[in-house]
C-alpha cells in the first residue's frame, strides 16, 4: 500500500487534549497538514492545541465509547484523509481481582471497540477521499502481556488483531492501515512507572514517517524496536523476560 505523507492532508486525532494524542496533533500541524480535527471527550481541554493554529485546528467533542458521538464526528469531518485512533486507557485491573471483568470491559470499550466504531464510521469517508490512512495506537503490550497491566495488554492484543482485519478489509479501497506500537512513553499514563520512557515528540516523528512510507507496523522508540526484534527471534524468551522484568514497575 502506498504511503500517505501528512503534508496537505486532513488529519483527525482522538484523545488530542494530552499525552501522545496532543503530540500527534501538534506534529501534524508542524508537518504541514491542511487541517487537524483535534478531538477529545471534553472539547474545552483542546484550547491549547487550538491556540497553536486556530485556522487549521478544528475541535470536536468525541468520546470513542459513544457511538452517537462517533457518528456525529464523521458527519462533521467528511474531508478527513488520515484517522489516528489514539484515545485509550488502562484501569489497573488485576487478573485475580473480583472486579477484573468489569474493569476489563471498560478497557475493551475504549481500546478495542473505540477504534472499531471509528473505522465503521470513517471508512466510507476515506474511500470517498481516495483511500487515505488509519493509524491505530496500540502498544507493545498488545504483542506480549505485561504483568502490571494484564487486561490493558489483552485489550491492545485485540486491537492488534482488529488492525490486521481492518487492513485486509480496507485494502480494496486503497486505505493504508497502520498499527502503532509504543513501548513506555512519558505521559500521564506512565506517571509513577520506574522504567525508561520514550518521548511523545520522538513517537510522533516515527508515526508520521511510518504513515508517509506505508509502514504497516510502526515501532516508536528504542524499547519497542528491540522488543519487536526479540519477538521475531524468540517470542517465548520475550514473554518470559517481560513477565520477570515488569512485575513491579510502579512507585
The interface with ligand NAP within residues 110-129 (CB under 6 A) comprises 110
Task: Indicate the residue among 131 and 166 with the shorter CB distance to ligand NAP.
Answer: 166
Segment interacting with ligand NAP, rule: CB under 6 A, options 3-11, 29-37, 57-65, 168-176 = 57-65
Task: Indicate the residue among 40 and 211 with the shorter CB distance to ligand NAP.
Answer: 40
Task: Indicate the residue among 133 and 143 with the shorter CB distance to ligand NAP.
Answer: 143
Cα(141)–Cα(88) distance, integer angstroms: 13
> Binding ligand NAP by CB under 6 A: which of 61, 65, 205, 241?
65
> Binding ligand NAP by CB under 6 A: which of 20, 57, 108, 126?
20
Task: Indicate the residue among 160 and 167 with the shorter CB distance to ligand NAP.
Answer: 160
- Using the rule CB under 6 A, is 210 a contact of ligand NAP? no
Task: Indicate the residue among 128 and 243 with the shorter CB distance to ligand NAP.
Answer: 243
Cα(149)–Cα(137) distance, integer angstroms: 17
HSE-CB for 188 with a 13 A CA cutoff: 11
Contact 212, 6 (CB under 8 A): yes
- Tallying the residues shown for the chain, one arrives at 251
Task: State which H helix or E strand residue 128 sits in.
Answer: helix 114-128
- Using the rule CB under 6 A, is 15 a contact of ligand NAP? yes
- Using the rule CB under 6 A, is 14 a contact of ligand NAP? yes
Coil, helix or strand for 200? helix
For residue 39, which of 64, 14, 56, 57 has the smallest C-alpha distance? 14
Cα(66)–Cα(113) distance, integer angstroms: 10
- Using the rule CB under 6 A, is 189 a contact of ligand NAP? yes
Cα(183)–Cα(222) distance, integer angstroms: 8
Q: Please, which residues bridge with residue 38 across strands? A: 13, 59
The interface with ligand NAP within residues 134-173 (CB under 6 A) comprises 137, 139
Segment interacting with ligand NAP, rule: CB under 6 A, options 74-82, 96-104, 162-170, 184-192 = 184-192
For residue 29, which of 208, 213, 210, 179 has the smallest C-alpha distance? 208
- Using the rule CB under 6 A, is 89 a contact of ligand NAP? yes
Segment interacting with ligand NAP, rule: CB under 6 A, options 52-60, 81-89, 126-134, 208-216 = 81-89
Cα(184)–Cα(239) distance, integer angstroms: 17
- Using the rule CB under 6 A, is 17 a contact of ligand NAP? yes
Residue 185 carries which DSSP code? B
Coil, helix or strand for 250? strand
Residues serving a catalytic function are 152
Point out which residues bind ligand NAP (CB under 6 A): 14-15, 17-21, 40-42, 62-65, 86-89, 110, 137, 139, 182, 184-185, 187-190
Amino acid at each position: 500500500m502506498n504511503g500517505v505523507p501528512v503534508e496537505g492532508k486532513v488529519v483527525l486525532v482522538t484523545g488530542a487534549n494530552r499525552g501522545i494524542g496532543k503530540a500527534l496533533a501538534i506534529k501534524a500541524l508542524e508537518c504541514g497538514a491542511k487541517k487537524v480535527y483535534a478531538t477529545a471527550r471534553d472539547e474545552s481541554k483542546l484550547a491549547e492545541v487550538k491556540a497553536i493554529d486556530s485556522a487549521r485546528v478544528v475541535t470536536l467533542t468525541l468520546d470513542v465509547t459513544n457511538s452517537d458521538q462517533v457518528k456525529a464526528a464523521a458527519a462533521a469531518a467528511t474531508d478527513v484523509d488520515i484517522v489516528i485512533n489514539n484515545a485509550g486507557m488502562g484501569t489497573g485491573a488485576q487478573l485475580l481481582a473480583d472486579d477484573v471483568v468489569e474493569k476489563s470491559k471498560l478497557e475493551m470499550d475504549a481500546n478495542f471497540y473505540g477504534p472499531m466504531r471509528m473505522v465503521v464510521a470513517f471508512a466510507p469517508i476515506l474511500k470517498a477521499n481516495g483511500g487515505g490512512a488509519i493509524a491505530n495506537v496500540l502498544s507493545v503490550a498488545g504483542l506480549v502481556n505485561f504483568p502490571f497491566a494484564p487486561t490493558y495488554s489483552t485489550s491492545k492484543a485485540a486491537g492488534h488483531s482488529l488492525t490486521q482485519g481492518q487492513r485486509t478489509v480496507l485494502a480494496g479501497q486503497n486505505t493504508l492501515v497502520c498499527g502503532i506500537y509504543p513501548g513506555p512513553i512519558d505521559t500521564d499514563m506512565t506517571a509513577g512507572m520506574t522504567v525508561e520512557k520514550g518521548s511523545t515528540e520522538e513517537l510522533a516523528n516515527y508515526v508520521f514517517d511510518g504513515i508517509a512510507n506505508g509502514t504497516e507496523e510502526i515501532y516508536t522508540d528504542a524499547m519497542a524496536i528491540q522488543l519487536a526484534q526479540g519477538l521475531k527471534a524468540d517470542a517465548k524468551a520475550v514473554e518470559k523476560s517481560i513477565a520477570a522484568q515488569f512485575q513491579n514497575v510502579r512507585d
